[in-house]
Structure 1
Amino acid sequence: MKKLLLSVLLGSAIAASSAASAATILVGTDAGLAPFEFKDPKTNEIVGFDIDLITAIAKAVGDEAKIQNMQFAGLIPALQSNMVDVGAAAITITPERQKQVLFTDPYYDVGLVMVIQKKNEDKFKTLKDMEGKRICAQIGSTGSILASTVKGATVANFDQIGEAFMELKMNGCDSVMVDKTVTLYYLTKHNDKDILMVPHVYNPKQNGFAVAKNNKALLDKLNKGLKIIKENGEYDKIYEKWLGKKPDAQQK
């Protein structure tokens, strides 16, 4: 009887210790970039590739991810002021951003494309054709940064990329600079025949989760979790759920 009681007490102590060591990771995202992060129209819950991924990473290291929605442009300032612990919003790793925050190991390859109205298919074929034109993008995005380098172009920035697509459809701009995966998902879901994606990919880079410069411990923990879910197959399951079968390049 004493042995049984000791066993129960020991088990309770271990469980309590485990619960005490678990942490809640506050994750900032911008739920307007399907399929990476967006609000489910039926439940209003924030879902997507990044959301499932960061949740699985946190779970793999014994923690819990709590998602907080905010504007994309506010993510890095929120990390720097410790309002959130992690930025998970299809954030492209760039030298400029690496000066402001730390990035995890890359988890997805990305590239920018130009989206135009179908009626301009023969008129706008390259970024050079956008010289002196009006380009829409999401504020703070790499698409906006690239658009700002086009000679004589006027860049219209929006909080949500869906607003940029709408502006294009209403003849408010000549093109939208946006991530290729986001574009493919949008075109598939909306069956929009008035706009099309110019196939050339600009600025191929990689996405990573971001943390504050002084939070190396969390960075190491996230990288550990990412490695675990890649090795146990969870990453592949999440990838296929949101993005379809992985191309060979993504399997490396």
Structure 2
Amino acid sequence: MPSFIRRSALRLAIGLGAAAAFNFAAAQGSAPANLNVGATATGIPFTFLDIKSNSIQGMMVDTVQAVGKAGGFQTTIQQTAFAALIPSLTSSKIDVISAAMLKTAARQQVVDFSEPVYSYGEGLMVKADDNRNYPTLDELKGEVVGAQVGTIFVDMLQKKGIFKEVRTYDSVADMSRDLALGRIKAAVGDQPIMVYQISQKAFQGVKMANGYKSTNVSDVCLIVRKGDTETLNRINKAIATIKADGTLAQITKKWGI
């Protein structure tokens, strides 16, 4: 074969290879290789600050890291106050929320939710010496009750309109202390978080209310900016993978939920 033909063939092969590489990269989309993930320090066992490692740990941290591994992207966990999670996401300070934040219609107007990774409802916490049965929140009519700021439970209590006062707290731990001191009659919050903390003896002088059943059950998901369909699709495919191969089930078992 003449040398000029060989050179032409080589140039053609290089050009086709470059085009194929470009098309492959385009097919993968432009989603970032690293996603900044907002998580709270007060939502044990979902998210919490591990003092030994000075890092955020928990079920939702393990979940988003497993999703990242399955989806082919890195995750950087950033400690963020619960009430600041959505503002941080919409202002692009973070790319994903991975926390015990329940899916609601109001939140769906602002952000996009992934496929569910867990579901739960509200729990009712009372003083340890309160042996009354509380089948519903109606039993607390005229009382002072508490809920964590930024959660759906604040609106839930306020909309009922039967309480003397609905006090808000920065964390479930702060709320449990006021409850133990008798400053509020009962506290409403994330049922798994309350149960876990009480079982670990992190909350003193309180217990879960007798006979109470959750009425506001919703999904826990990973959350992205409104309209970020590329990141959402990658996350949803990865969630399907970790559900199918048993990784998600192992994570929830590890954290006792």
| TM-score normalised to structure 2 length | 0.82
Q: For structure 1, which segment, 131-140 or 55-64, has the greater mean C-alpha deviation from structure 2 after superposition?
A: 131-140
Contact 1:79 1:86 in 2 (8 A): yes
- Separation in structure 1 between the aligned mates of residue 137 and residue 187 of structure 2, nearest angstrom: 11
Kindly indicate whether residue 224 of structure 2 is the aligned counterpart of residue 211 of structure 1.
yes
Query: What is the Cα deviation at residue 43 of structure 1?
Result: 2.4
Q: What CA deviation, in whole Å up to 9, does each residue of 1:209-248 have, x standing for no partner?
A: 111112111011110111111112211111111025xxxx
Q: Deviations over 1:105-147 (max 9, x none)?
A: 0110111021111333227553012222111111010222222
Q: 1:92 to 1:39 in 2, by over 3 A?
A: same
Q: Provide the C-alpha distance between the structure 1 equivalents of 2:230 and 2:154, rounded to a whole number of angstroms.
A: 32
Aligned counterpart for 2:195 among listed residues 175, 184, 188: 184
8 Å Cα contact 1:58/1:64 also seen in 2: yes
User: In terms of mean alpha carbon deviation, does 152-161 or 226-235 score higher?
Assistant: 152-161
**Corresponding residue SS for 1:203:** coil
Is residue 92 from structure 1 mapped to residue 114 from structure 2 by the alignment?
no
The alpha-carbon distance between structure 1 residues 38 and 219, as it changes in their structure 2 partners (threshold 3 A), is: same
SS of 1:240's equivalent? Answer: helix
Q: 1:131 to 1:50 in 2, by over 3 A?
A: same
1:235 aligns with 2:248: yes
Whole-Å separation in 1 of the counterparts to 2:130 and 2:159: 22
Q: Percent identity?
A: 27
Q: Quick one: distance in 2 between partners of 1:130 and 1:82?
A: 41
- Gaps (5+ residues) in structure 1? 1-13, 245-252
Q: Bigger shift: 205-214 or 118-127?
A: 118-127
**Matching residue of 1:76:** 86
Larger radius of gyration: 2
Q: Which runs of 5+ in 2 are unaligned?
A: 1-20
How is 1:82-161 mapped onto 2 (pairs within 5 angstroms)? 82-122=92-132, 124-153=134-163, 154-161=165-172
Question: Counterparts of 2:175 and 2:156 in 1: how far apart (Å)?
Answer: 15
| Inter-CA distance 192–83: structure 2 relative to 1 (3 Å threshold) | closer
Instruction: Tell me how far 1:100 sits from its aligned partner.
Output: 0.7
Distance change >3 Å, CA 118–CA 211, structure 1 → 2: same
Corresponding position of 1:194: 205
Which residues of 2 match residues 163-174 of structure 1 at below 5 A?
163-174=174-185
> Structure 2 CA distance, aligned partners of 1:81 and 1:33?
23
- What is the SS of the residue equivalent to 1:132? coil
Tell me by how many angstroms 1:74 deviates: 1.2
Shift of 1:158: 1.4
Taking the aligned partners of 1:94 and 1:36, their CA distance within structure 2 comes to: 18
Q: Which amino acid aligns with 1:41?
A: I
Contact map agreement 1:116 1:124 (CA 8 A) in 2 = no
Aligned-residue offset at 1:80: 1.2
TM-score normalised by structure 1 residue count: 0.84
- CA shift for structure 1 position 194: 2.7
> Per the alignment, in what secondary structure is the counterpart of residue 120 of structure 2?
strand
How many Å separate the matches in 1 of 2:195 and 2:94? 30
* Deviant stretches of 4+, over 4 Å: none
What is the distance in 2 between the residues matched to 1:49 and 1:43?
Answer: 16
Taking the aligned partners of 2:76 and 2:102, their CA distance within structure 1 comes to 22
**How far apart in 2 are the matches of 1:191 and 1:34?**
10
